[in-house]
Chain A
Amino acid sequence: MNQIQKLPVEERRRLNRLYRKGSITRKQFMQLMKNGLFDHERLEMKRKYLEFIKLHRDEWN
């Protein structure tokens, strides 16, 4: 990751309005606001977790 993709101010304002109106959920708002920022490690960890669950699902069931 060489460049941080910050959202433009106007886009942030627009998302804020949508969230307050209830047009988007908090989860959607969070993901759109983050735009991947600070989230790489979490997503990588989640990918590993989901792979692990998929691999062992049959054994556990």
Chain B
Amino acid sequence: MAEDLIKLLEILNDSSGWFLNFLAYIVAAGLVVMIIIHLYRYGTGKNDWMGRNLEETDQGRQVTLIQLERCQEENDELEKKVILLEQERKELLELIKEKELEITKGKKQVNKLTQEINTLRQLYEELDNRYDDETYTMSQIMYTADEIATAIVEEEHFRQNRDDIFMNLLDYLVNTFKGFREKNPRCIIHVKHPEEDCLIHYAHSSGHSHRVKFYRPPIIGSSAGKAYRTNELYYVPDVENLEYEYDRKELSRKVYRTILCVPIKAGSLDGKTIGVLSVTGTPVDAYEKIEIERAILFASLIYPLIHIDLNKRKETGDEPDSEASG
């Protein structure tokens, strides 16, 4: 077999000089044609310079393009979502701001309401204290009325204990004033002197010295005299103020700056004033309106007792003047 093949090759070698040349031409022509075809295909864009088929690459490209389009679409969708989410984020931020504003507003309202509640609580406490004071005053009025009635009924006992009874009655009034220690309220009752143009001592509350009995306020030129003269309440918030009518006695040891003078009269009847209830207080402008009104009320309460007593004493000749001057 091998020998046959070698023989064939030898035959070909001997007789193929023209054939090899022919084959070489054929191969060269084929190569040229192939180069032309390659250049043509490259020139027309069917191949790349390496001879790779571009049509097949286009299919790959198409697939890539489709994928790219899908990716693009997905990207677009995602971008839209991002835009939407961004909008939502902004809306949420705005909502948060609104809520924060609402919370701030709410907190302010809560603070305001808390303050209002505290104010209301303080007002209630104050109101309760005043209510407490009023109910206490009512009890003092009741006891005053009780003791006046007893004094009217038990004439002899009253006659013998007049000073003590009046001291207690006036103490009821004094005790209705607030700030007892600071104001040091003291009361005196003066009645008209039977003959002279002045008032004379009738009774006083506790806290006075016996010398209080000897002072006789003039009808003109004293606060009590003015109240008696005019039948009207006369309130002097500061006795050192020269605008007010007040008896500024020399060498007087003043322990008060305020004086309140209330006429003791029968209701609103003119000319029926029988005396003056004077209340002194240590500080300037010592008394509130409610305290002044209480003094008016007590002056009305004690009127009947003084009225009856003065009439009795007039009948018996035991008028206050004789006691005061003694």
Q: Contact string, A12-53, partner B, CB cutoff 8 A, digits 1/0?
A: 110010011010001001100111011100100110010001
CB contact between B136 and one of A12, A16, A22, A33 (< 8 Å): that residue: A33
Determine the main DSSP class of B at the interface with A.
helix
CB contact between A33 and one of B117, B121, B140, B146 (< 8 Å): that residue: B140
> In the complex the two chains form, is A16's CB within 8 Å of B135's CB?
no
* Interface check A9, CB cutoff 8 A: yes
Using A12-B143, A20-B206, A37-B138 as known contacts, say yes or no to A46 and B180 having CB atoms under 8 A apart.
no
> In the complex the two chains form, is A9's CB within 8 Å of B135's CB?
no
Count of A residues near B, CB < 8 Å?
A: 24
What residue in chain A is nearest B177 (Cβ atoms)?
A: A26
> In the complex the two chains form, is B131's CB within 8 Å of A42's CB?
yes
> In the complex the two chains form, is A42's CB within 8 Å of B128's CB?
yes
Using A16-B175, A42-B132 as known contacts, say yes or no to A37 and B114 having CB atoms under 8 A apart.
no
Chain B residues in the interface with A (C-beta under 8 A): 114, 117, 121, 124, 128, 131-133, 135-136, 138-140, 142-143, 146-147, 168, 171, 175, 178, 180-181, 206-207
19 A-B interface contacts by CB (under 8 A) = A6-B142, A6-B143, A7-B143, A12-B168, A13-B168, A16-B171, A16-B175, A26-B180, A29-B175, A30-B132, A30-B133, A33-B143, A34-B135, A34-B136, A37-B139, A42-B131, A45-B128, A46-B128, A53-B121
